[in-house]
Structure 1
Amino acid sequence: MKAITLPLKSRPRWRAPLIGVVVLALAGGGWTVMNAQPKSPAAQPAAKAAPKDPVYELASADVTAISTRSLAVSLPLSGSLAPVAQATIRSKVSGEVHESGVREGTAVQAGQVLVRLDQADLKARLQQQQAMMDEAQAKLELARKNENNARTLLGQKYISQTNYDGMSNSVDLARASVKSASAMVEIARIALNDSVIRAPISGIVAKRHVQAGDKVAPDMPVYTIVSLNELTLEAQVPTTEIPRVKPGQEVHFKVDGFAGRDFTGKVARINPTTETGSRAMLVYISVANADGALRGGMFAKGSITTERSAEAPVVPLAALREENGKQFVYQIVDGKVVARPITIGLRNEDEGYVQVTEGVASGANIIIAKLEGVKPGAKVKMSTPAASTAQNKPASPVRG
C-alpha cells in the first residue's frame, strides 16, 4: 500500500515582526522608568557659582581729571589797523625846494630836517622889515625929544596945552609904529625859519610829495609821516552785541603774515552811532606796537574777552549729565561710578568747557564719554591714568 504524505500547515509570517516591536516597547518603557527615578546626590553636577558684577574697563579717552583755571567768554571781531599818530606836513611859505632827501620808508625823529627851501627872498624880506623897524624907532626917539621940549615950553607958558598934547600924541603914534614894525620883523623871521621844514613827530616817512627843484606854495603837502608806536584796531561789532563790550576789555588777535604770533590790545572807546548801511558800531581797540611789527592797513582777526571767571574747576561739556533739570557728572570713586550733582557757572561753547562752582574738586576723575551700561554704582577700572584735557590758554571766541 502506498503511503500518503500530508502537507504541513504554514505559520503566519507577521508574528516575527510583531514580537520585535513588543520587545522594543518593553525596553523603552524600562529605560524611561529608570530615568524617572531620583538620582543620588553624588550623581548630580556641582551647583553653578553665583554671577559676579561686571567690571568695565575705561580707556584714557573716556576719563579726564578736573583741572582748575580761569574760563573766558569772547566775542569775535575783525578789522583794519590804523596809526594813532599820522602827520601830513605842509609848507607854510612859498619858495623853491632846495633840499628834499628823505625817502619813503625812512625812520625820522621829531625835529629832523626834511625839506629846505631857497631862503634868498625870505632873508631879503627880513632885512627890509628890520630896516623899517629901525626907522620907526628913530621916529619914536625924535617924538620923545619933541615931547620933552614941549613940556618945558608948556611950563614956561611959551606954548599952549593944545600944542603940547599934539607932541604927546606924536610919541604915541611913533610907539605904535615901532610895535607894528617889530611884528613885521617877527613875521619875516618866522617865514625864514619856516623855510626849513622839520618832522613834527617821530615815525616813518610814508609819502614824499616834493622833489628838489619843485615850487611849493603855502599849505602844499611835502611829506607824510606815520608813527607806529601805537595803532588802533577799528572793528565793527553788531549792535546786539554792543552791551557786552566795555572799555578796558582785553582783545587778542592775529594778523596775516604773523600766523604764529598772538597780538593783544584793549578796548579804548565805542562809536555812539551805527555805520552807514549796516547794523554795526565801530569799536576802537588800542594796540601797543613797540617793536613796529604791525603796520597801518593790516587786517586783523580776533576776539574781545567779554567775561572772565576766577580760578575754578572746569569740566568738559561732554561730561555733563542732566536729569529732572539738575546737572551732574559721573565721578570715579574707589573704582565705582558715583553721580555728583554740580552747580555750573560760566560756560564756553566753542572751547567746550564749563566752570563748576560747587560739587567737585580739582583732580577728581570724571567720565566724559557716554558709555552703555556705565551707571552709578557700576564698577570700573582705568587702563591708564586719566589726564586733564583743559589747558591754560586764552578762551576761544564764542560765536553768536
Structure 2
Amino acid sequence: MTTTGRVPASSFLRRWRLPLFGLLAITIAAAGYLVYAKKSNAEAKANVEKENKTSMVFELAAIDVLKSEVRDLNTSLAISGSLVPFSQVTVRAKVGAEVRETLVQEGMAVTKGQILTRFDAADLRARLTAQEASVDEAQAKLGMANKNRKSNESLLKQNYISQNAFDVTNNSVELAQASLKSALAQRQVAQLALADTEVKSPIDGIISKRHVQAGDKVSLDSPLFTIVNLSQLILEAPVPAYEIPRIKIGQLLSFKVDGFGARSFSGKVSRINPAAETGSRSMLVYVAVNNADAALKAGMFAKGSLILEKSTAMPVIPLVAVRQQNGKDVVYKLVNNVVQVQAVSLGVRNEDEGVVQVLEGLDPGAIVISAKLDGIKPGSKVSLPKVEAKSDNPMPTKPTATTLKG
C-alpha cells in the first residue's frame, strides 16, 4: 500500500480553529474599546460643556433689570376736545330804539345787574306820560260812576227809579273799573319799556362779543352782547361708542392745554350724551372743569386721560417682563444673582404706560429681568450693574447681555 503526502481536511480545520477564534476575539475587543472610548469622549465633552455653562455669567445692563415698585395703577382712556363755557348768554334788546351809548367792550368783566348800554328813551318816556294820563282819566271816570251808583241806590230804595235804571248805573261802575285796570296795565308796560332802555347784565362774566355800536337802531330781540362765565368750563370730548360702557359719571380727567407748559388741569365727567353723532358714531362726554383763576379760555383744545379704573397700591412691573410658561404668567426673578422662575397673578394693566399690576407672587422691591435676553434661562448666573437696578424705566428700549466666563 502506498502512502501520499496530503493532509486530511479535518486535520487542517482543527489546526486553524484556535487562531481564528483568537483573531475574532481580538476584533471584538478592539470594536468594544472603540465604542467605549467614543462614549467616554462624548461624556467628557458633555461634562465640559455643562461645567462651562454652570460657570457662565451673563453681565446685565441697567436697562435689563428693574425693581418692582409699589404704586397705584390706573387704566385710562385718551380723549380730547374743546372747552366751552358752562354759562353763556346773549343779551337781546327788549325794545326797539336807538342805541345812545355802549359802556362795555370785548374782554371786560361785568357783574350781574351792571348797565351795559343805554337806548334813546325820549319816545318811551312820552308814551309813559300818555299812559299815566290815561290812568288819571280812568280813575276820574270810576269816581264819577261810583257817585252815580250811590245816588241811584238811594233812589232805588225810595222807588224813584226802576231796577233796570240802577243796573245800568252799576254796570257803568264795572266798566270804569275795567278801564282803570287796562290803563294801569298799559302804564306798567310803558314803565317796563322805559326801564329796558338801560340794558343790564344778567350774569357775572366777561364780554366776549359786542354786537352794537352807539347810534345803531335796534329792533325787538336784536342781539346786543354775548357774555361768558369762565369760572366753570365744560370739556366736550367725542368718544367712540364702544368705549361708552366703561365711562361713568364722576370719573376723573387729567388734561393739558397747549401754551401752559407742564401745567395740568383736571375735571370730572358730569354728563354723557345718549345719542351718537351721525357719521362718526361717537358720543359726546361732558367734563366739568373748575376754572376759578380764569386761566383757561373758551374754545381752547385740550388733550388728556380719563381714569376708568383705579387700583390700590401693589407691585408694578413692565408688561415685557411677563412670560408664558405652561399657560401661566411668570417672570424671571433674580435671587443671589441667579435667575429663577416665579409664577405671578396679574391685575390691572395700563397699555399706555406698558405696565401691569402684580397681585400675587412678587414681593415689593424684587429684581426681575425686564427684557427678553437670548441665552438667559432659569438657573443662569448673572452679574448686575454696579448702579442699583432701575425702577423708573419700566419700558427697556435696548436689551443687552454680555457673556463672561467664570
Query: Higher Cα Rg: structure 1 or 2?
Result: 1
Q: Is 1:384 matched up with 2:387?
A: yes
Counterpart amino acid of residue 75 in structure 2:
V
The Cα of 1:119 is off from its aligned counterpart by: 1.4
The Cα of 1:342 is off from its aligned counterpart by: 0.7
Corresponding residue for 1:44?
Answer: none
Identity %: 54
Separation in structure 2 between the aligned mates of residue 320 and residue 277 of structure 1, nearest angstrom: 40
Corresponding residue for 2:257?
Answer: 255
Q: Is the 8 A contact 1:97 1:116 kept in 2?
A: yes
Q: Deviations over 1:11-54 (max 9, x none)?
A: xxxxxxxxxxxxxxxxxxxxxxxxxxxxxxxxxxxxx9x98744
Corresponding residue for 1:204?
Answer: 206
Higher mean displacement: 73-82 or 128-137? 73-82
Corresponding residue for 1:189?
Answer: 191
Aligned length: 343
Separation in structure 2 between the aligned mates of residue 62 and residue 96 of structure 1, nearest angstrom: 78
Higher mean displacement: 151-160 or 172-181? 151-160
Separation in structure 1 between the aligned mates of residue 306 and residue 347 of structure 2, nearest angstrom: 20
Separation in structure 2 between the aligned mates of residue 371 and residue 213 of structure 1, nearest angstrom: 80
Secondary structure of 1:247's match?
coil
1:311 to 310, 313, 326: 313
Q: Is the 8 A contact 1:255 1:300 kept in 2?
A: yes
Cα RMSD for the two superposed structures = 2.1
Corresponding residue for 1:128?
Answer: 130
The Cα of 1:117 is off from its aligned counterpart by: 0.8
Secondary structure of 2:275's match?
strand
Separation in structure 1 between the aligned mates of residue 125 and residue 380 of structure 2, nearest angstrom: 100
Separation in structure 2 between the aligned mates of residue 257 and residue 71 of structure 1, nearest angstrom: 28
Q: Is the 8 A contact 1:64 1:387 kept in 2?
A: yes
Q: Deviations over 1:163-212 (max 9, x none)?
A: 22222222211111111111111101000100000111121111212111
Could you state the TM-score of these two structures normalised by the residue count of structure 1? Answer: 0.80
Corresponding residue for 1:168?
Answer: 170
Corresponding residue for 1:220?
Answer: 222
Corresponding residue for 1:105?
Answer: 107
The Cα of 1:303 is off from its aligned counterpart by: 2.5
Counterpart amino acid of residue 253 in structure 2:
V
> What pairs with 1:138-153 in structure 2 (closer than 5 Å)?
138-153=140-155
Counterpart amino acid of residue 63 in structure 2:
A
Separation in structure 2 between the aligned mates of residue 267 and residue 255 of structure 1, nearest angstrom: 18
Secondary structure of 2:129's match?
helix
Secondary structure of 2:242's match?
coil
Secondary structure of 2:143's match?
helix
Q: Deviations over 1:278-322 (max 9, x none)?
A: 222222222221111222222222232222222221111122121
Corresponding residue for 1:81?
Answer: 83
Corresponding residue for 1:288?
Answer: 290
**What 5-or-longer segments of structure 2 have no aligned partner?**
1-47, 395-406
Q: Is the 8 A contact 1:59 1:384 kept in 2?
A: no
Instruction: Give the structure with the higher percent helix.
Output: 2
Could you state the TM-score of these two structures normalised by the residue count of structure 2? Answer: 0.79
**What 5-or-longer segments of structure 1 have no aligned partner?**
1-47, 392-400
Separation in structure 2 between the aligned mates of residue 94 and residue 373 of structure 1, nearest angstrom: 88
